[in-house]
Structure 1
Amino acid sequence: MTANFFQARGPSKKKTGKEKESIINPSLQPWVEKYRPETIDDVSSQEHIVSVLQKTLSSTNLPHMLFYGPPGTGKTSTILALARQLFGPDNFRTRVLELNASDERGISIVREKVKNFARQTPRAETVASDGKKYPCPPYKIIILDEADSMTQDAQAALRRIMENYARITRFCLVCNYVTRIIEPLASRCSKFRFKPLDSSSARQRLGNIAAAEQVPVNQAVISTLISTSSGDLRRAITYLQSAARLSGATEPPTPIFPQDIQEIAGVFAQTVGVDVPPTQSGDEDIDMADVTPLTVKADLRGFDLIRETVKLLIREGYSASQILIQLHDIIVEHPTLTGRQKSACALTMAEADKALCDGADDELWILEVALRVHKVSHPE
């Protein structure tokens, strides 16, 4: 989503006409960049943050800021849009430094790149080439994306720089996990929490993009985009662009179906709210065979049925982590399983997740989880 991380968005060499055309040609851009909000008013589903920043924009008295929240909720887009509205397209290049701490996150980067940029006196305001007037306050902005990836030493060094150069430089820390930012650093910033996009806002934005790109999609496809992206609008837009490319690869273009989105997202189709007759004990059957679209032999039962289903899932290329995520969601939302049964299933999946992270075999652990879930949901 961002430029080359820990690289300043500063003045660059003059491009030739051909190079410039290739850079600004919208048809060559990823849609997540092409439809990135230009102003903070375009940011979706973050009304409280937008209202606060609008007041800040009018006063141009910007504090140090800390943006945190799930991926794809508009954190980086918001600060970039705010910076453009403050400085304009021409001054933006000299007043804004955008770095990404997930690439280079050590203390040397803070001491060199960050400190060198922070200590420079802002250059004189230039007349905007588009004829508009921008506030252009007398300070610069340093955007530290993925700041939660910075080492403890780097964060400790940063707090002194924030104090020394606060008169001419403002910092905006962008992260997913605010608990990984040391408290002395977080206390120097105004915190803004970004929420996952609600379905209506995501639906509207995806519909607008599909209409602008002349991609015929129905509401079922958009609903699938939203459900598979889990509130991450960036991921949903990427899925939509991938589906559009696959659809346009044939002549005439083929329609886009929800199954295409599921295939792109790497999720397997599942029955939402499995409708299976309850067992005698009142518990519902939720073994792995109920949540997969794959067909297995009808004469298989019990262990053989579960083993065959897991084998087919793995052979189809579905990742073990994706299977665990979808199975977890089904169990948590299941209407008839008791809290104790759900807890037992959750512990099993936690154990499997740890084993998979340590390099265990995918198929064996998915089979283990499926058998334990089947045992929990079918008490003797």
Structure 2
Amino acid sequence: MQAFLKGSSSQSTKPQKIKAAGPSGEKKQRPIPWVEKYRPKCVDEVAFQEEVVAVLKKSLEGADLPNLLFYGPPGTGKTSTILAAARELYGPELFRQRVLELNASDERGIQVVREKVKNFAQLTVAGSRADGKPCPPFKIIILDEADSMTNAAQAALRRTMEKESRTTRFCLICNYVSRIIEPLTSRCSKFRFRPLANDVQEERLLNICEKENIKYTKEAIQALVKVSDGDLRKAITFLQSVARLNGEKEITESAVIEIAGVVPSKLVDGLLQICYKGTFDKMEIAVKSLIDEGYAATQVLNQIHDAIIDASLNDKQKSAITDKMAEVDKCLADGADEYLQLMSLCAVIMQQASQSS
């Protein structure tokens, strides 16, 4: 039996060896998403969030940190900032032992807070880094998307946060600070992450294009910045998708709009012109063609919203239309029919536009 097992194991290893040894004998590097590839490795590389970077740098100099609460829109650098700070504090060797990161995809109910988090927080740490730099005598627990934790779990966390302050620092990360209970927010230093400015995003995207040898037009980069809406992660993901789609060709504005799923502005403007001056039958055809083309109703809604805000309607008309938009947005989130919801919105726009201003 043992001989048979030995023979089978030796047979199974042969093909792996042949695969590993390529024609050049070098191991091929796995492609990774650019979002991970260009994630900041140190606090200085974090873009735009000057206040947070300044406070963290001071804390890192003294090898100490308060409990932190990072909040703001997605893609603004919240997780990247704390991971970069932790790497600077502990170095690559101790990082895995000293940092516990729990995301919304992990189980984070009251039981996990009582067991996993509490047990990790109670462990004392000592020792120094391999490079001789001072290493802080505490660990870091990162709770990403903390606003999706239940109130009971958050309540259980506050006692642990207070009790284990000697050995552990907590970093809560969320999009909506209003969903974090008051006892937790009062125990943390709060930092708001702002949506990234257009010029900062543009600079990062141009830097990536240079490193990846991508040909691009100025309009394409501006379109990436516009469709990402202050979310750098989204902008980098779109850039990689367009680059893969285009191959060696130059990235253009139309390619960016196509990959981002944005409705061409002439189609939105055409639909609104029909609502202002056309007939109900024409409006029905225009809405149906938008849905048949595969454009998402939520995307159409967002673009109509921006156009209505800039339209030459009076405040009363705009408020009636935006009130309907809120209702349509809720219905779409609940899974209502896209065609019917857009039709009901366009009918309200047509009704308001027909009234004398």
Name the TM-score, length of structure 2 as normaliser.
Answer: 0.88
Task: Report if the CA contact (8 A) 2:214-2:250 is conserved.
Answer: no
Rounded to whole Å, the distance in 1 between the matches of 2:295 and 2:90 is: 47
Task: Report if the CA contact (8 A) 1:91-1:125 is conserved.
Answer: no
Change over 3 Å in CA distance of 1:25–1:208 after alignment to 2? farther
Bigger mean CA offset, 67-76 vs 362-371: 362-371
Q: 1:38 aligns with which of 17, 38, 41?
A: 41
Rounded to whole Å, the distance in 2 between the matches of 1:25 and 1:83 is: 30
Rounded to whole Å, the distance in 2 between the matches of 1:358 and 1:53 is: 41
After the TM superposition, list the runs of 4 or more consecutive aligned residues in structure 1 that deviate by more than 6 angstroms: none
The residue identity in structure 2 corresponding to 1:374 is M
Rounded to whole Å, the distance in 2 between the matches of 1:47 and 1:122 is: 31
Change over 3 Å in CA distance of 1:329–1:25 after alignment to 2? farther
% of aligned pairs identical? 53
Give the 3-state SS of the residue equivalent to 1:117 in structure 2: helix
1:225 paired to 2:219 = no
Give the 3-state SS of the residue equivalent to 1:174 in structure 2: strand
Task: Report if the CA contact (8 A) 1:102-1:150 is conserved.
Answer: no
Choose 1 or 2 for highest CA Rg.
Answer: 2
Structure with bigger helix share is: 2
Task: Report if the CA contact (8 A) 1:287-1:373 is conserved.
Answer: no
Gaps of 5+ in 2: 1-19, 21-26
Rounded to whole Å, the distance in 1 between the matches of 2:28 and 2:141 is: 28
Shift of 1:124: 2.2
Please name the residue that 1:360 is paired with.
Answer: 336
Q: 1:259 aligns with which of 254, 257, 267?
A: 254
Q: How many residues align?
A: 332
Bigger mean CA offset, 32-41 vs 263-272: 263-272
Residues 109-258 of structure 1: pairs in structure 2 closer than 5 A: 109-128=112-131, 133-248=132-247, 253-258=248-253
Task: Report if the CA contact (8 A) 1:69-1:194 is conserved.
Answer: yes
Q: 1:286 aligns with which of 272, 275, 279?
A: 272
Shift of 1:102: 4.4
Task: Report if the CA contact (8 A) 1:144-1:174 is conserved.
Answer: yes
Task: Report if the CA contact (8 A) 1:70-1:196 is conserved.
Answer: yes
Change over 3 Å in CA distance of 1:201–1:272 after alignment to 2? farther
1:104 paired to 2:107 = yes
1:332 paired to 2:332 = no
Shift of 1:26: 6.3
Rounded to whole Å, the distance in 2 between the matches of 1:53 and 1:288 is: 54
Rounded to whole Å, the distance in 2 between the matches of 1:340 and 1:370 is: 17
Give the 3-state SS of the residue equivalent to 1:98 in structure 2: strand
Shift of 1:104: 1.8
Give the 3-state SS of the residue equivalent to 1:28 in structure 2: coil
Rounded to whole Å, the distance in 1 between the matches of 2:187 and 2:299 is: 39
- 1:29-74 per-residue CA deviation (whole Å, 9 max, x = no partner) reads 1000000001111111111111111111111221000000000000
CA-based RMSD of the aligned residues comes to 2.3
Gaps of 5+ in 1: 1-17, 19-23, 277-284, 291-299
The residue identity in structure 2 corresponding to 1:258 is E
- 1:232-253 per-residue CA deviation (whole Å, 9 max, x = no partner) reads 00000000000011011xxxx2
Change over 3 Å in CA distance of 1:197–1:344 after alignment to 2? same
Q: 1:372 aligns with which of 339, 348, 352?
A: 348
